[in-house]
Amino acid sequence: MQNITAAGPEKENSASGSGRAEGSRSRMTVHYIVVTGILSAVAFVLQLIELPVPVLMPSFIKFDFSDLPALLGAFSMGPVCGILIELVKNILHTFVSGSFAVGELSNFLLGAVFAGVAGTIYKLKKTKKGAMIASLVGAVCMAAASYPFNAFIVYPVYYNFMPKETILAMYQSIIPSVSSVEQSLLLFNMPFTFVKGMIDVLITFLIYPHLSPILHGRAR
């Protein structure tokens, strides 16, 4: 009886510790979902604010800051969070855009590479230098991925709604010597994608220190 009685408090302590751990995991899960949802909503709103880039890019390519919340989510909650934000914002955007989901497909693929790569590298080295390296590599990977994604996935879908010759003519109105859509993707889309990513990176570095406590649930 003495052994059984002595074991009682140990079992209670064990159960209490297990309960606290379970509660902590539940709070973390709720916080993860809330942060992902809020950043997805912000990303969706930012995606609605599309800015034309006259002289430099064809009219059907716009600039927006919607990858910014995904990068914030990737840094604060991990790469999966960043990818989920890219997915949710583009699903929402399909209901209000006229691109027949083609623009959203492109935005998701490139944004997922950007947030996924940057978030993964930063997860391995959570320092300011690590964040800088992660952001740069993420932007480079996004720009590099823009060629195969556009050439073999996105633009072939575009051709169902807009002839290839019409798209090429839009690029040629900027640089007449361009001879193919594929060449245009290298000369226009890749540099544009890299610059777009680096602008998001710059803004992230300016605002992340102020938002980090909130994103991590440490705000007072």
Q: What pLDDT is stored for residue 29 in this prediction?
A: 86
Contact, 64 vs 49, CB < 8 A?
A: yes
Q: Residues near 141 by Cβ (< 8 Å), separated by ≥ 6?
A: 113, 114, 117
Q: What pLDDT is stored for residue 9 in this prediction?
A: 56
Measured distance CA(90)–CA(86) in Å, rounded: 6
pLDDT band at 4 (very low <50, low <70, confident <90, very high): very low
Q: What is the DSSP string of 97-117?
A: -SSTTHHHHHHHHHHHHHHHH
pLDDT band at 123 (very low <50, low <70, confident <90, very high): very high
Q: What pLDDT is stored for residue 179 in this prediction?
A: 95
**10/183: higher pLDDT:** 183
Q: In 10 A of CB 41, how many CB atoms? A: 15
Buried b (16+ CB within 10 A) or exposed e, 157-185: ebeeeeeeeebbebbeeeeeebeebeebb
Chain segment 10-21, per-residue pLDDT in tens:
555 555 555 565
pTM of this prediction?
A: 0.86
Measured distance CA(122)–CA(182) in Å, rounded: 33
Domain ranges of the chain: 2-215
pLDDT band at 47 (very low <50, low <70, confident <90, very high): very high
**158/26: higher pLDDT:** 158
The β-bridge partners of 62 are 52
Q: What pLDDT is stored for residue 14 in this prediction?
A: 53
Q: What is the mean pLDDT of residues 36-59?
A: 94
Q: 2-215 maps to which CATH number?
A: 1.10.1760.20
User: Residue 216 phi/psi, 5° resolution?
Assistant: -90, 0
Chain segment 157-169, per-residue pLDDT in tens:
989 988 999 999 9
